[in-house]
Amino acid sequence: MAKRIIIDCDPGIDDAFLMAMAVASSDIEILGVTTTYGNVGVAHTTNNALRVLDWLGSAVPVYAGVDRAILSNRVDAAAYHGESGLEAPQIGQPKRGAEAESAIHYLVRTLAGSSDKITLVASGPLTNLAIALRLQPSIAEKIDRIVFMGGSTDYGNDSPAAEFNLLCDPHAAQIVLDSGIPTVMFGLNVTHQVIATPRHVERMRALGNRAGRVFADMAEFFAKVYRERYGFEGSALHDPCTVAWLLQPDIFQTRTMRVDVETNSGLSFGRTVHDIWGLGGKPATTEVAIKADADGFFDLLLSLLGKLD
C-alpha cells in the first residue's frame, strides 16, 4: 500500500528533486502540497511548486501557506537558489493556480477528516505545521510522523550555529518538536554526505530523458555556490533525503534522541540541541539521521528520475 503523504515545502532546487522522487514512486501517494516562505517568498515558492508538478505531469493540488515566521525576522536563500527560487527555464510557467483554501486550513481539514494516519514531509520552515497544530491540536493524532529536513548535529549553514530552515522559524520548530508526534530529522550533518558530484550529475544526463537533463542542469547551477562558499565538490541534495528515507530507510543510519531548538536571541539562535543521554528528562521522539550511504541514495534517485519523461 502506498504511503500517503503531504509535502510542505519552499521550492527551491532540492525541493524540486524531492517532488520528482515522490511523483515518480509508485510507493507514495501525494495528497497535497503546501507551500511556505523560506528559500524565497511564498508567492515564488507556490509558483515553483506548481511549475514543477505541472512539468512532471502531476495534478496534485497546491495550497499557499504563510509568508513569515511566527516571531522572528524573515531570511531567505535566494543567493543559493536564484531570485525566483528555481532558475530552471526548461520548466515553464504553470497552467493552473494554487487552490483557494490556505495551506493551514487544508492541513487541519485533511488531517482531521482522515480515517488513516498521514505522513508529513517538510523541507522548509515548519511554520505552517506549527500553526496548524496550534489551531487544532487534535490533528496530531492523525499524523503518523513528520519527516523533515532541518537542523544539524554539528555546525550551521546560515549562521555559525544554525541550519537555514530552522533558523527561519525556531519557535515553529520547537512547537513541532514539543507536539509528541514522532519526527525524523535530516540535518546538515547527514545531508552534507549526499553531494551531487560531477560523476553523479553525468549519470543523470546519461539517463537520456528530459528529467535527467533538467535535473542535471539544476544540480550544476546549485553546485556553484557550494564550491565557492564551502569548497564542496558539488551541491548538497538536502531535501530529497526525506523521501529517500521513506522509500529506502536502510540508506541512512539514525539514532533516536530528544531534539530541541534554541529560541533565545544570540549566537546560537535557531541551533538544534541533541540530548542523546536523556539528561533533560524530555521524551526522545526524534530519529536523527547520522550517516548516509551516498551511492545508495544516488542509485535510488537515478532509478526514479529514469521513470520520468
Beta-strand pair 118-122/286-292: unpaired
> Residue 162: phi, psi to the nearest 5?
-115, 145
Which ranges of the chain does DSSP label H, i.e. alpha helix?
Answer: 13-24, 42-56, 78-81, 103-113, 127-135, 164-168, 170-177, 188-191, 198-205, 210-230, 240-247, 294-305
Cell of 19: 517532488
* Residues constituting the chain: 309
CA distance 305 to 136: 37
CA dihedral 20, 22, 25, 28 (to 10 degrees): -160
Q: Is 10 a catalytic residue?
A: yes
Beta-strand pair 62-64/235-236: unpaired
CA distance 46 to 62: 7
> Which sequence positions are flagged as catalytic?
10
